[in-house]
Amino acid sequence: MPKAAPAKSGEPARKKKRTDSTNARTQPEAANLEEFKNNPIKGAGLILRRRSREKTNAVLANADFAIGLKKLASDAANMPKAAVLLSQFALRPEYFSVTATAMETASAWPEPPNFEKAEDRRLAAEALERLRTAWALRWLAKALVGTQTRYPTLRLFFASRLILASGGLMGAVDALVKVQGGLKPKEQLSLIRELRDCARPAPGNATPSAFVEFAQNVTSGSSAKDDAEINRELAQFLCEAASTDRGLLLDEKFGALVTTLDADSGAKLREDAAKLRKTVGSPTSESEVGPAPPDQASLIKEAAWSDADEALGRALRDMGALDRSFERLESVVDGEAAERTRRAKNASAFVLQWVQQAAHKRSIKALNSVGERVQFDPVYHDLGDDAAPGDYVRVVKPSIVRGDGAQQIVLLRGEVELD
């Protein structure tokens, strides 16, 4: 009868076999990360194919991964292929945080046309919308204006990512202003329509109470109620919502909720609400406005318009500068260039008529015209030099106001210079 093999001292045979198997798997993984550190473009594919939590945790725990990722972020400044791989890491939730850290000091990616495939540009846009680097808005704006109008789906995708990354329509337009020069009238028209499509909300009856209900759902769990981190994050989220939609500042339940979640955030919100009430003309006494002061709904509606009114005022004031630019251009070109200039001027006039109509609806107007000689008034004018009220000055940019008489509000002080 054969004898059983004698047991060796130390680990049991089965456990030793399992340990050897684990080491065998770990060695090639370590070799892959070594390759990724030295040549991240070549080694990225193997890491991105790993999906199990055990394997991704092992990758994140290895110092070589962070080193390789930083090198990949550096390479992405000159190599679209590296930017695409970096985008794939950014779009994986488990790798997002470490990718964002690697991108903090990285230079801007190559221009969108340098990405050969449309799908690569789309992937890069998706990643930049989440990473939100200092140069992300400019890249997204260039991707939008650089895509031909015969690809409307792709253009709408870039427009939506630009609006998401900038936090709203105003930020998107600010980014586009820097890159839209040279577009033809038809291209400008397409751009306007795409922005409108992205900014137009679906029908709904949302009210400030939606934020209250959302917060109640978040804090309804017994563990969440006492979680200081969740309460603080939720309060900051609500404050950011109020900075976008200022009408929320005047909703009492909204303000009370923020204060309950975080006292410091609540104090700041109440301070901003007090300033806004003064801006929109909230009544301070019955004798000032009569027996029927505006109700809360009216104040909220007016507050929601306050940012839009200022933007309308700026557009109204700058229309004159645009006209003068076209006039100077017309005086120095001829032939086909003159015809193109005329068409561009007519197209801009067509668009700007809606600015004038919107300003008229809101009773917004310019008080003076450029070059006009007026008496200095610190309420209406901004002047860096010393000037006393009543001194004569010349208008560089006119004051923009809303309303008349006692109800008049100065939206933008005019720029003037000493006469």
Out of 16-20, 63-67, 230-234, which region has the weakest mean confidence (pLDDT)? 16-20
Q: How far is CA 58 from the centre of its chain?
A: 34
Predicted confidence band of residue 286 (pLDDT cuts 50, 70, 90)? very low
More confident residue, 92 or 288: 92
Predicted confidence band of residue 97 (pLDDT cuts 50, 70, 90)? very high
Residue type, 316: L
Helix (H, G, I), strand (E, B) or coil at 414: strand
Of the ranges 25-39, 92-106, 350-364, 380-394, which is most confident? 92-106
Q: What is the mean pLDDT of the chain?
A: 80
Of the ranges 122-136, 288-302, 402-416, which is most confident? 122-136
DSSP codes of every residue in 260-281: HH-HHHHHHHHHHHHHHHHHTT
Out of 58-72, 131-145, 386-400, which region has the weakest mean confidence (pLDDT)? 386-400
pLDDT of residue 335: 81
Look at residue 5 and tell me whether its pLDDT is greater than 70.
Answer: no
Predicted confidence band of residue 137 (pLDDT cuts 50, 70, 90)? very high
Out of 90-99, 127-136, 287-296, which region has the weakest mean confidence (pLDDT)? 287-296
Mean per-residue pLDDT, 41-55: 90
Q: Where are the domains of the chain?
A: 24-107, 132-198, 225-279, 297-418
Backbone phi, psi, residue 194, to 5°: -65, -40
pLDDT of residue 187: 86
Taking the C-alpha atoms of residue 83 and residue 301, their distance in angstroms, rounded to an integer, is 44
- In tens, the pLDDT along 247-275 reads 788 888 888 888 888 888 888 888 888 88
Would you say how long the chain is, in residues? Answer: 419
Judge contact between 391 and 418, C-beta under 8 A: yes
Would you call 369 exposed, middle or buried from its count of C-beta atoms within 10 A (0-12, 13-18, 19+)? exposed
Q: Measuring CA to CA, how many Å separate 259 from each of 90, 205, 254?
A: 35, 26, 9
Out of 32-36, 175-179, 325-329, which region has the weakest mean confidence (pLDDT)? 325-329
More confident residue, 66 or 221: 66
Residue type, 189: L
Look at residue 126 and tell me whether its pLDDT is greater than 80.
Answer: yes
Taking the C-alpha atoms of residue 259 and residue 268, their distance in angstroms, rounded to an integer, is 9
Look at residue 284 and tell me whether its pLDDT is greater than 60.
Answer: no
More confident residue, 168 or 14: 168
pLDDT of residue 204: 65
**Among 94, 194, 105, which residue's Cα sits nearest to residue 141?**
194
C-beta atoms surrounding 381 within 10 Å = 24
Judge contact between 221 and 280, C-beta under 8 A: no
Token pair 């923009």: residue: 400
Tokens of 155: 């253009």
Helix (H, G, I), strand (E, B) or coil at 12: coil
Look at residue 7 and tell me whether its pLDDT is greater than 80.
Answer: no
- In tens, the pLDDT along 295-316 reads 555 555 555 566 677 788 888 8
Look at residue 21 and tell me whether its pLDDT is greater than 60.
Answer: no
